[in-house]
Structures are given as C-alpha cells and as structure tokens.
Structure 1
Amino acid sequence: MTQELNRVDPVAQIANLRVEIDGRAIVDGVNLRVLPGRVTALVGASGSGKTTTGLALLGEYPSGARVTGDVRVPEGGLVGYVPQHPAAVLNPARRVCALLNDIARTQVRHLPRRERRAATRELLLRALADAQLPDAEALLRRFPHQLSGGQQQRVVLAQALLLGARVIVADEPTTGQDALTKSRIVDQLSAVAAKGIAVVLLSHDLDVVRALADDVLVMRAGQVVESGPPERLWLAPRHEWTRRLLDARAPGPQHEPPPIAAQAVLHVRDMTARHRDGDRGTTVAVRVPELTVQAGECLAVVGRSGSGKTTLARCLAGLHRDHSGEILLDGRPLPHSLRQRDRDQLAAVQYVFQDARAAFDDYRPVLDQVARTAVRLRGADAETAEAEALATLTRLGLPEELASRRPARLSGGELQRAALARALLAQPRVLLCDEITSGLDTVTRRGLLDVLAGLLRDRDDLSLVLITHDLDTARLAHRIAVLDAGELVEQGPAPRVLTEPRHPFTVSLMETTARLAAGT
C-alpha cells in the first residue's frame, strides 16, 4: 500500500521547509506530501509549527520570517483555508448571505445572466448544507456576531467549498464543536476527500484525527518527530511526545457536589434571550426557566454548537441585554446590560472568552493588560496591580519573561492562562469560562483543567460556569446543564448526567462522544 501511494503524484508538496524568526526556527526541516483524496493530519502542542506548515501551502508566513525549502501547490494556487478563529476572516458588517454570494457569483458567471441568480442561490444553500448548517434561510440573514463560534467555523468551511479548491487546509475545524457536530464534520471532510480533494487537517483533537486521517504527522518544536497511519500511532507510539499527547486524553477528575449553600450565588429565573433578525423582528435564542449556581460550585453548560450556551453566558455577564426574566446575584437583581452594572457587580461576574487572542490589545504587553483589571474594578494603584498580576500569572504557569511580551508572541494556551489571570484579578464571585479549552492540544488542555481544579480547591467563594462542548472538560463540574435548540433539556449532578443521561439528546451526545473516542 505504501509503495502504491508513493507512486501517486502529490497535489501539493513541502520539502525541507525551514521558517526562522529572529534567528529562531519555528519550523525546521518539515517534509509533507499532500495526496489527492486523502486526509493528512498534523498534530502537536500549541506552538509546534502546525499552522505555520499549513499556511505555507497558501504562501503565507509570519512577518519578517526567513524561509527556505520548496513548497509546491496546484496550478492557480487553488488552496482553501478554514482558520481556527473564523471571526477574524468574516466581515462583521456584512450578513452571511453577502459573504457567500461574492464567492458563489464567481462560480456561475459563465451562465446566462437570467440564470445566475437561481444558480447562485442553489450553490449557496448546497454549500451551507455540506458544511452542516441547518436552517440556512434564517442563518443567511444574520451577521457573523449573531452566530456561535461553531456556526462561524462552518460558514468559513462553506466559503472554502464554494471556491472549488483542490486542497483544503482545515485549521482546527472542530474547535468549539460538540460531539454530534464533530461527527458531521468528520463525515463532511471524508466526503470532500472522496471527491479527490486533498485535505490537510491541523488539529489537537486526537479523536477526530483518529476517525478521519489517513496519515498523521506528529510535530514538536517545529519538527516532525513521528509519522504514520493513525492505527499504528495509537497502538504503538514510538516517540515520547506522541505518548504524552495520547496519555493526556485520560478522563479528568469528577467532583462531588459542594455543601448546599443557604443562598445561590447566581440564580436565573424565567430567562428568554433573543437575537434580532434584521427587519424580521427577533428570534428566541435560549430559554431557561430556572438555573442556579452555588458558592464554590462548578456548573458545566453543554450542548451542540448554536444551542444557546454562549448566549446564556453573555446574558449572565451583561454582554447580551436583549432578554427577559431575572438574574440574581446573592439574591439581588443584576441589570441586563453591563453598562448599567456598578463596579462591584462588574467585578463579581467575569467572562473568559473562547478566542483569547482577540480579547487582548495587540500593541500592549500582556502584563499591563492583566494588571489593568485590578486598577479599574478594584481601585488598586498601578504598582500594586502589577505585582498582583505578575504573582497571579506566575501561579497559573506564565512566568514574567512571557508576561512581559505582546500577545502575538504567546501561544494560544499561554494567552488563555493570561485571560484567566486577568479575570481573577477582579476577585470575582462567578467566573464564566466560554470554551476556553477548545483550541488547545491535549497536554495544554489537561494543564488548564488542573489550574481550574486548583482554583476550586483554593477559593471556596469562587463559582465556575464552564461553557463547553467537551465532555472531558465537563467532568470538572459538580453539576451539568444540557441545552438543545435553545432549551434547557436536562440538568443534574455531573456523575449522573455523564453515566445515566435521561433526555434523548443527552443520550445521543454521550453515544457519539464514545464512538469518536473509539475512532469509528
């Protein structure tokens, strides 16, 4: 089989690629053959060189980089790209229909003018369906900020499919996705490969890699340390780093519920949140009759992408004000909008965003931005705030050398720790963590989960709300609430929900997660 594949002409190829920045090699001696109809996966920790290698196929390199080696791509450069953070490539001022129409029109311009509009529409709807986006008509009217992270990811995938590329570089396409959506993306990318299109998958999600990839390259510190088919790597990894990546997938700890508090620190009652749908009025995004978070408790909110998880969290933080019902903090109503909350209320409920890089100012050192929280929300002086910020960053595993850098020089995992430290400097009562492990490799994710578990042990006055699609992350929680299509369908102690789910959607979620973990 290997000899037969070696005789197949690659649709794209990288030979002895080396990328240096300031004399430091971030990719060193990488070779990659991209074959038509096959999925080649690059796995490794954040900062290992996966994205730099993938972007080389598009001719994109970091600013100021010195590049040597040979990169060959299809004639015409038809390489599609699905980035890890889709919001960065979606114009926030244009509706989804406009974003996709621009590409679709280029595909039908050879048709007579009277046929183009219908053909464009057909292409659009087909691409959205192929990208696993249901209710396409409603979605086309929305702006990118009205979509969940998973929906944004699939819109970008639809753009790549509309381009008709011979190679698609998918950079963490399952980031922020639930198991059911991951399974559909596996099916979709498999279907793309079945059409003879080469797929280069850059991923930390080893379950998805095992289910999808034909060939796997394991990267560390810019080099390929091991390669082969996933069956061999999973059963008999040869390199220590491959073994560490696989071992870090072990389930995390489960916690017993904390003692019943006299009063919930956070209480949601009769909440209905809405999204504005252009000139058509509003649509219901999430409906929660009742939900409580006790002091010292970790509550995980799980569900598929677009189920309303992030909208719920944004309502709690005052970032989404178009909702009815009550949010009580220590029994007292919280204003719907953060603009109406006083300094103590702002400090009490803090939000850690999924895309940590977008949450930082590119032009200021991370340490300054973390310290600013203590100045603005607690009235600390600049010197005290900086000392406290540095101590918190160090405790979370980010030393002063890294903290003094600008965000662009930190990895995704390092920036997530910085974002967590910034929120903690407010000394919050409730910490909302929105998919903060979704873009991380298994080793970095395990480290961040250990940090969160340590916070629960060290601060009995801190409550965590974890917005997550990942059931391994949900194991950290005392209780789990399950959302489906904007409705709260199940909630209860984490051990019970994970092992004895009662609602059909929860059952389906658990079963699909198990199948992905088994590589089927």
Structure 2
Amino acid sequence: MIVQVSQLSATAGSSVLVDRVSFEVWAGEVTALVGASGSGKTTSALSLLGECGDGVRLDGHVEVDGRVVVDSNGPMAAAQHIRGRVVAYMPQHPGSALNPARRVGVTLRELARLHHPGEEVVDEAVRAAQVDGNALRRFPHQFSGGQRQRVALAQALTCRPKVLVLDEPSTGLDSLTRWQLVKELRELTAGGLGILLLSHDLDLVRALTTRVVVLDAGHVIGTDVIPDSPQLPATGTTTPGQPLLQAMNLSASLRPRGRDLVLHELDLAVRAGSCLGVVGRSGSGKTTLARCLAGLHERFTGQLLLDDEPLPVLRKRSREQNRRIQYVWQEVRGSFDERRPVDQQVARTAERLRGRPPKEAHAEAVATLARVGVAAITAARPPSRLSGGELQRAALARAVLAHPDVLICDEITTALDDHGTALVVELLTELKDRGTALIWIGHDLGLVAALADQVMVIDAGRVVEQGPPDRVMTQPVSELTRRLVRAVHLGHPEAPPALIPEPRSEPRR
C-alpha cells in the first residue's frame, strides 16, 4: 500500500467540503474517486500533497509512502519531500499545469534534470502519454485541448512518481484516444505505478479501476459500486429554412502567410433552431473552427456570413454581432477573472450586451446558473472556489445570458458528470426549440448525435463525412467515423485498445 487516507476532513469556515473520507492506493492498481462536480474529489486528492485551498483546514490522517503528510494538526512538513518523485498530480485543466512562455520540450527536460539527473526519462514519458516527439518544440497554446491533456500527462510522468493522481484525464479526448489512454495506463500500472483516478467518465472507471469510492457532497456514499450511465434521448430534428451562419471555403493556419494549415476548404451551414455537431480526434481542427466562427482566429481565408451578410473578425464586430454569436470554449477557467465572484461575471453579459440593469441582470444570472445546477451560494464565490464542472456550467450560463442567435459550444460537457450533462442538454434543447442555432463541438460522437440534426466529422482539418446522425451512426462512410462509432463505449468488444490504429487523414471527397 502506497497511500492510506483515513477519516480525512476538509472545512472552510463553517462549510464542510470533505467529511471523514477514507481510501487506499496500492502499487500496480487504480483507485477511483467518483462523484458529481463539487463532491470533494479534488480536495481529497490534493491532500496527498498536503495541499488545500485558501481558508481550508485539513484534518484526519494521510500517509504516503510511509510518510505522514496530514494529521490532526493539518499538513505536515513531509509533504514538501514527496511532490513530484513520489506523488505527481495532473490537474483537470491542463492549461494551468503548462507554462505558456516555454516550449514543451524545455519544460520536460528541466523536470528530468530536477528529479532524475543523468537519466533519459523524457522520451519514455512522451511515449507513454501518446505525445508526438516532434511536438516538443511547440508552445502549449499551439496544441488542442486534448493534446494539452496528454502533454500535461507527459509532464507528470517525467517525474517517475510512485503514485499518479489523474484529475479527469479523459477531458477533451475523443473515443479512440480514450482507448489508447486505457492501454497506456494499464501498462503503467503493470510496471508498479499506483494511480488515483478522479473521473466522471464511468466507462473509463470501469475499464481501469481496482476499487471505487463514490462521493457525494463530501461524504462517502458507496464503494465498488459504479452507477449506470443514463441514456440521453435523441432530440435532433431537421429544420427547414435559410442558413443563419455559413462558412464557405474556410481554411485556417497557425502561422502567417498560410503556413501550418489546420483547416482545409471547409464548408458548413447552420439554420435557426437546428444543431450542427462537429466531431473528430484531438488536434483535428475542431477548436480552430470554433475560434474562426467566433472571430477569435484571424488567420483564415474564405467567407463567413451571418444572415447572408459578411461577418468580420471579433475586433471589428459590432456589439449586436457579438451578442448574436456566443462561444463557450473548452478550457473555461482562464476566461474568468479570479478577483470577482462568478455570478457577477455571468451577470455582466446581460448588462453589456443586452443593456439590462445590474439587479435584473444578477437575478437572471442566478436563475440561469441554478438551471444548470450551480447554486447561488456557490456562484457567489470566486472562480478558484468552484470545481471544474461548476465553472464549465457557469461559462455556458454566461453565454446564454446574451440571448444569442448562434451558440458555439466547444467540449462543454467534458468536466461534467451524467447529471450535469443532462442539465446542460436540457437547457440546450430548450434554446434550440426557441430558435437558437447550436454548433456543438465534441469528442463524444454518441452525445453529439443525441442532440444534433447534422453531424460533421473532420480529420486533419478536412471534412471526411457529414449527414444526419442516424445515418452517420448506423452507416458510416469514412474509416475514421466507423472507428469512432465502434469506440463510443469503451467496453465495446469490437474495439479493444490494442486493435485501434492511429487515424490517417483522408482527402475530402
């Protein structure tokens, strides 16, 4: 046994965040903490490092590799000596773990020199995390969200820890890459690594874990019992009418003068009251597409039209155009001001884009946040005091308060449990029924197909398939789509991890 947590409690003033939680992590095994957003998973996991948020007090007993890290007096000095080499932590939002000013390879080599001088550990970590070795010269902002997740995993593995804490490691990963992640994590545990997995991805939990601890509002409510995932109803309907938002012959690059193209002559159209689902592997160009439509990516060619009128980049859009097109991006924590309460930031959208009085805007913000499961007392806190799933839903509520005509959602359920996902789907379905056009960009083909009227599959920046979700799910044309359909559920017998090859780019037909 490498980790023993007994009767762990965490309090912030009169609020109890974690109440007498106990669990163990053994070498070569995976222990999972499962629960809704805000259930105490991250607080419990950070106790292994002797860490806690501002104003939070830890109590109980936490022992890691024979050293007491937390006792009745709180964190112990021993916690400083286990970080990295004994326990490595990969946070839920990979952007917060990566230095935006340094190339990835430089950071990894520095960690290797710090923890294992003279040893070649970087190549080993990069292979285990499925990071292309040619990508080490890039900066974090040059990766997609799913790719940053794997870079953050490589950063943790470079320390060669005895215990690896993974906080929502499948966030932003497509189904095929999730399969590969399962395969790599199994190989790591076979080598003796102990893993503490924090996840709402129940398929991932079933595929990996030896023991499961289910948390709810800081309490252990069960062990070794994984709840079934509810089936979401199909809500997509074909909506007639002229396109509201169009992209024609859209190409985009990462560098000036059209170098490093990530989108190639892509066309799309979405009508009022309809939903276009965009799926593809991590790094396929989905987020670049979303940023082009939102006006945030300026290195593109082609045409963007809103109501048949040219749509400029964001800095040249009018306030009304900004209101009409809203974008909820994948890594939401960086989009909030840490110095202001979340509810005030959500309300600010209604004030600035719709001219609502502050009190009225705040009341609307609180009501919308409640619709997606973020209570008023939680929303009144600064962003650092909210879980990843709560902040993700707050970002959606902020965009909804603009009353947009087009809502672009980029992986907005990656940090959510099944209940939170159902609340989001319910709200988006209601918006669609009111006439809002939705563009849902995701890695979960099954979830996207449940809401979309049309599904577009892109690979290496090219459209490889497009059509109604029923046809795409039952009669896929491209090889990539066929593999995505087979891998919708991790436990599907036709898609074992070892048999899924890397996808090959297919020319647009």
- Give me the TM-score of the superposition, normalised by structure 2: 0.88
Instruction: Give 1:485 deviation, angstroms.
Output: 1.9
Query: Residue 258 and residue 65 in structure 1: after superposition, are their counterparts in 2 closer, same or farther (change >3 A)?
Result: same
1:362 to 328, 334, 338: 338
Q: Tell me the SS of whatever aligns to 1:328.
A: strand
Distance in structure 2 (CA, Å) of the matches to 1:256 and 1:52: 38
Instruction: Give 1:365 deviation, angstroms.
Output: 2.3
Alignment-derived partner of residue 180 in structure 1: 176
Distance in structure 2 (CA, Å) of the matches to 1:342 and 1:166: 54
Contact 2:457–2:466 (8 Å) recurs in 1: yes
Alignment-derived partner of residue 72 in structure 2: none
1:55 equivalent to 2:46? Answer yes
Distance in structure 1 (CA, Å) of the matches to 2:183 and 2:272: 42
Distance in structure 2 (CA, Å) of the matches to 1:65 and 1:388: 31
2:235 to 238, 255, 258: 255
2:104 to 96, 100, 103: 96
Query: Residue 387 and residue 48 in structure 1: after superposition, are their counterparts in 2 closer, same or farther (change >3 A)?
Result: closer
1:270 to 249, 252, 257: 249
1:105 equivalent to 2:113? Answer yes
Query: Residue 491 and residue 168 in structure 1: after superposition, are their counterparts in 2 closer, same or farther (change >3 A)?
Result: same
Contact 2:294–2:327 (8 Å) recurs in 1: yes
Alignment-derived partner of residue 73 in structure 2: none
Query: Residue 360 and residue 481 in structure 1: after superposition, are their counterparts in 2 closer, same or farther (change >3 A)?
Result: same
Distance in structure 2 (CA, Å) of the matches to 1:371 and 1:219: 31
Instruction: Give 1:39 deviation, angstroms.
Output: 0.8
1:194 to 170, 190, 193: 190
2:145 to 149, 172, 189: 149
Equivalent AA in structure 1 for residue 424 of structure 2: L
Q: Tell me the SS of whatever aligns to 2:396.
A: helix
2:259 to 270, 278, 282: 282
Q: Tell me the SS of whatever aligns to 1:265.
A: strand
Alignment-derived partner of residue 421 in structure 1: 397
Contact 2:250–2:303 (8 Å) recurs in 1: yes
Distance in structure 2 (CA, Å) of the matches to 1:399 and 1:226: 25
Instruction: Give 1:185 deviation, angstroms.
Output: 0.7
- Report matched runs for 1:422-437 at 5 Å: 422-437=398-413
Q: Which moved more, 1:307-316 or 1:20-29?
A: 20-29
Distance in structure 2 (CA, Å) of the matches to 1:37 and 1:401: 41
Contact 2:95–2:331 (8 Å) recurs in 1: no
Contact 1:254–1:495 (8 Å) recurs in 2: no
Show structure 1 runs of 4+ deviating over 6 A. none
Equivalent AA in structure 1 for residue 382 of structure 2: R
Contact 2:258–2:299 (8 Å) recurs in 1: no
- Report matched runs for 1:164-243 at 5 Å: 164-228=160-224, 233=225
Distance in structure 2 (CA, Å) of the matches to 1:380 and 1:480: 36
1:299 equivalent to 2:273? Answer no
Contact 2:116–2:159 (8 Å) recurs in 1: no
For structure 1, list consecutive stretches of 5 or more residues without a partner in the other structure: 1-9, 112-118, 235-244
1:472 to 418, 441, 446: 446
Contact 1:254–1:478 (8 Å) recurs in 2: no
Q: Tell me the SS of whatever aligns to 1:514.
A: coil
Distance in structure 1 (CA, Å) of the matches to 2:115 and 2:383: 39
Identity of aligned residues (%): 48
Query: Residue 23 and residue 399 in structure 1: after superposition, are their counterparts in 2 closer, same or farther (change >3 A)?
Result: closer
Alignment-derived partner of residue 83 in structure 1: 91
What are the Cα deviations for residues 140-181 of structure 1, in whole angstroms up to 9, with x where unaligned?
122111111111111111111111101101111001111101
Distance in structure 1 (CA, Å) of the matches to 2:239 and 2:337: 40
Instruction: Give 1:479 deviation, angstroms.
Output: 1.0
For structure 2, list consecutive stretches of 5 or more residues without a partner in the other structure: 68-80, 497-509
What are the Cα deviations for residues 326-364 of structure 1, in whole angstroms up to 9, with x where unaligned?
1111111111x3111121221111011223333221222
- Give me the TM-score of the superposition, normalised by structure 1: 0.87
Instruction: Give 1:192 deviation, angstroms.
Output: 0.7
What are the Cα deviations for residues 174-208 of structure 1, in whole angstroms up to 9, with x where unaligned?
01111101011111111110001101111110000
Equivalent AA in structure 2 for residue 84 of structure 1: Q
Alignment-derived partner of residue 470 in structure 2: 495
Query: Residue 405 and residue 110 in structure 1: after superposition, are their counterparts in 2 closer, same or farther (change >3 A)?
Result: closer
Distance in structure 1 (CA, Å) of the matches to 2:265 and 2:442: 17
Contact 1:257–1:493 (8 Å) recurs in 2: no
Distance in structure 1 (CA, Å) of the matches to 2:371 and 2:39: 24
Alignment-derived partner of residue 124 in structure 2: 126
Give the length in aligned residue pairs: 477
Distance in structure 2 (CA, Å) of the matches to 1:15 and 1:189: 26
Q: Tell me the SS of whatever aligns to 2:407.
A: strand
Distance in structure 1 (CA, Å) of the matches to 2:163 and 2:129: 16
What are the Cα deviations for residues 338-395 of structure 1, in whole angstroms up to 9, with x where unaligned?
1111212211110112233332212222232122223322344434433443444455
- Report matched runs for 1:502-517 at 5 Å: 502-516=477-491
Contact 1:254–1:494 (8 Å) recurs in 2: no
Distance in structure 1 (CA, Å) of the matches to 2:359 and 2:476: 51
Contact 2:373–2:420 (8 Å) recurs in 1: no
Alignment-derived partner of residue 322 in structure 1: 299
Query: Residue 405 and residue 83 in structure 1: after superposition, are their counterparts in 2 closer, same or farther (change >3 A)?
Result: closer
Contact 2:323–2:402 (8 Å) recurs in 1: yes
Equivalent AA in structure 1 for residue 351 of structure 2: V
Alignment-derived partner of residue 456 in structure 2: 481
Query: Residue 450 and residue 360 in structure 1: after superposition, are their counterparts in 2 closer, same or farther (change >3 A)?
Result: same
Query: Residue 214 and residue 27 in structure 1: after superposition, are their counterparts in 2 closer, same or farther (change >3 A)?
Result: same
